[in-house]
Amino acid sequence: MKNKNRILIVIIVILLFCIYFVCMYFLDKTENHFIFKEKKQDIKNQNLDAEEKGIVCNITPNQKINSPLLIKGQARGMWFFEGSFPIKLLDQNYQEIITITAKAQSDWMTQDFVSFESILEFEKAKTQRGFIVFQKDNPSGLPENDEKIYIPIIFN
């Protein structure tokens, strides 16, 4: 009787582990299905702490957008070089649609937040989803100075 109970408990524990791993596999697939394949975890983390990384803006994840789109917000001064930094619009196939420049609205030579504004005008996209990418201006070209924040969007 004790052996049968032990075997039953072991089988139940194994089944629970299998169910857990199958669920985690499918949750990961659905949660990130429109996140860049190469850097899923990095991009997911960047989106979670965008304000910590230095960007606050009027675009929210999965927001429906139309052209023209006014993008405004605040970025830490270190994101700017000569008062600007690039913003890219990508489709869900990771193809660049357009790159624009965010322009500082005041003195950008600070560690504090600086207001920026830009208008994104684009042709109708071929895909339903895409990304707005805020890219820290990096004139040095050094990888350790690169920083990007990806915000998933839906084309209206």
Per-residue confidence (pLDDT) for residue 32, from 0 to 100: 39
Asked if 111 contacts 7 with a C-beta cutoff of 8 angstroms, the reply is no
Q: Where are the chain's structural domains?
A: 1-31, 40-155
pLDDT given for residue 122 in this prediction: 92
Report CA-CA distances (Å) from 148 to 18, 38, 39, 132.
Answer: 36, 14, 11, 10
pLDDT score recorded for residue 118: 94
Tell me the per-residue pLDDT of 25-50, one tens digit each, with 9 for 90 and over: 655 444 333 333 334 444 444 444 56
Query: Taking the chain (156 residues) in consecutive chunks of 10 residues, what is each chunk's mean pLDDT?
Result: 80 80 57 39 48 82 93 92 94 93 92 92 91 92 89 92
How large is the greatest C-alpha to C-alpha distance in the chain, in angstroms? 79
Sign of CA dihedral 147, 49, 91, 28: positive
| pLDDT for residue 50 | 64
Q: What pLDDT is stored for residue 88 in this prediction?
A: 95
Q: Which residues contact 127 (CB under 8 A, 6 or more apart)?
A: 91, 92, 93, 155
What pLDDT, on a 0 to 100 scale, did the predictor assign at position 149?
A: 92
Q: How far, in Å, CA of 46 to CA of 53, rounded?
A: 8
* CATH number for the domain formed by residue range(s) 40-155: 2.60.40.2550
CB proximity list for 123: less than 8 A, separation 6 or greater: 67, 97
